[in-house]
Amino acid sequence: MTTAVRARPDKTSTTMQLQVKHAPRRIPLNGIKDIAQSASDMLVDVRESMLAPHPRKNPPVFTTAQVGDLCRVDRQRMHYLARTETDLPQGTLRHSRSREFTLEETRVWINRIAPFAKRPVGVKAKTIAIGNFKGGVSKTTTAMTLAQGLTLFGRRVLLVDLDPQASLSALHGILADSEVADEQTVLPLIYGETDSLEYAVQPTYWDGIDLIPASAALFGAEFFLPFKQSKEKNFQFWNVLNSGLESLLDKYDVVIIDTPPALSYLTINAFMAADGLIVPTPPSALDYASSTQFWSLFSDLSQSMQEVAPQLDKSFDFINVLLAKVDQSQAATPIVRDWINKTYESLVLPVEIPTTAVTQSAAAEFGTVYDISKYQGSLKTYQRAREAYDRLAEIVDQQIVTLWLAEAEAK
């Protein structure tokens, strides 16, 4: 930072300074730029410190080999494509003569080269709610990593943060307290001021993910929705989010909704808007016990919904129980995993997410496994977690593609 405009004590004229409180200092026209520079440097510093400890986030970069892996092509073909398909991004040449691709460039490659089925024309996004009435079971982490993983299958994802605690927004480096106004959340839709959520969609640091952020003010929905229902008989408190998302569904491949750890009015809206439901369930005895409560409350809710709205024709395309935060070192893990498998049978996804220091330390910096370009710790630990999350995204993507193709065929 330049100090051009700061008064410097002048050792030779101490007496002068004592007499003259503020001596005039001549500044030529071309000195103004120093003042401007000083001011703008300061603003940057201040803004950074105001945002701490939520630093602005940067997406990872990818090596040529990683881009090849994501496109499912081998090294030789990757080099061939880089030479011949000259309109594909060429990345940036780094020292040691290797190339580095930004996330955006990598996604251009994936969209062009990878063998993934595209969403058929005229078929809309699939909406997935991540739910469990217990906190700390990895709902938010699952929403974020699933969104990131799906973008690496070339999908465009809209994330909706419905938790007043706004952890999903924080994972995007967004400070819910100071950076999210009520009008930027789902609230105007909830309050009936508008009937489409389009106004609330923000781009994020991650190419392929847009976000509707949350703030503490979302608590207001819990009072407003039942109040409005009591006044207006024809109001459908459970359908507000569903109808607000409608006009966005042809712009995205997947919509993922993160919910608060409660059977709240917002959670009911998320479930009613969802085609698929993912319930992260750690294999610990306590989490297992509370997950059984989740299903019994959810069942009560389903029954009362049928009474309140007999015309409601709601079904889920899929419900997945996800073994999350699986700690191999815990003696109880295999036992509770067994209970979970016996209870939920085919609902349990054929992948489990390990508890990893990678996730924990990255979470301290408001990130996930996918945010890391070069992992500093044990590569094996990182790989294990990364492969689990990749597999989760792959399985969910397969379910979505199956539904898309069935829908396209039925048309």
Residue 325 interacting with ligand ADP (CB under 6 A): yes
Binds Mg ion by CB under 5 A, chosen from 167, 204, 215, 355? 167
Binds ligand ADP by CB under 6 A, chosen from 89, 154, 208, 261? 261
- Rounded Cα gap, residues 360 and 185, in angstroms: 28
Least distance CB 138 / Mg ion (angstroms): 8
Binds ligand ADP by CB under 6 A, chosen from 106, 127, 140, 151? 140
* Residue 10: burial class (beta carbons within 10 Å; 0-12, 13-18, 19+): exposed
- φ, ψ for residue 59, nearest 5 deg: -75, 160
Residue 359 interacting with ligand ADP (CB under 6 A): yes
318 strand-pairing partners: 276
From residue 323, alpha-carbon distances to 132, 293, 296 in Å are 12, 17, 19
Which string of DSSP letters, residue by residue, matches 128-159? EEE--SSTTSSHHHHHHHHHHHHHTTT--EEE
How do 276-281 and 126-130 pair as beta strands?
A: parallel
- Site size with ligand ADP, rule: CB under 6 A: 16
136-165 residues near Mg ion, rule: CB under 5 A: 139-140
276 strand-pairing partners: 128, 318
80-119 residues near Mg ion, rule: CB under 5 A: none
Least distance CB 405 / ligand ADP (angstroms): 31
Coil/strand/helix, residue 277: strand
Comparing CB distances to Mg ion, the nearer of 140 and 185 is: 140
Residue 330 interacting with ligand ADP (CB under 6 A): no
Partner touching 262 among Mg ion, ligand ADP, none, CB below 5 to 8 Å by kind: none
Residue 138 interacting with ligand ADP (CB under 6 A): yes
- Rounded Cα gap, residues 337 and 359, in angstroms: 21
CA 374 from chain center: how many Å?
20
Residue 135 interacting with ligand ADP (CB under 6 A): yes
Binds ligand ADP by CB under 6 A, chosen from 249, 363, 395, 405? 363
Partner touching 106 among Mg ion, ligand ADP, none, CB below 5 to 8 Å by kind: none
Cα torsion 82, 86, 92, 96 to 10°: value is 40
Gyration radius of the chain's alpha carbons: 26
Comparing CB distances to ligand ADP, the nearer of 134 and 156 is: 134
- φ, ψ for residue 310, nearest 5 deg: -60, -25
The size of the chain, in residues, is: 411
Binds ligand ADP by CB under 6 A, chosen from 360, 376, 410, 411? 360
The amino acid sitting at 326 is V
Least distance CB 262 / Mg ion (angstroms): 11
Residue 259 interacting with Mg ion (CB under 5 A): no
Partner touching 360 among ligand ADP, Mg ion, none, CB below 5 to 8 Å by kind: ligand ADP
Least distance CB 287 / ligand ADP (angstroms): 10
Contacting positions for ligand ADP (CB under 6 A): 135-141, 167, 261, 325, 353, 355-356, 359-360, 363
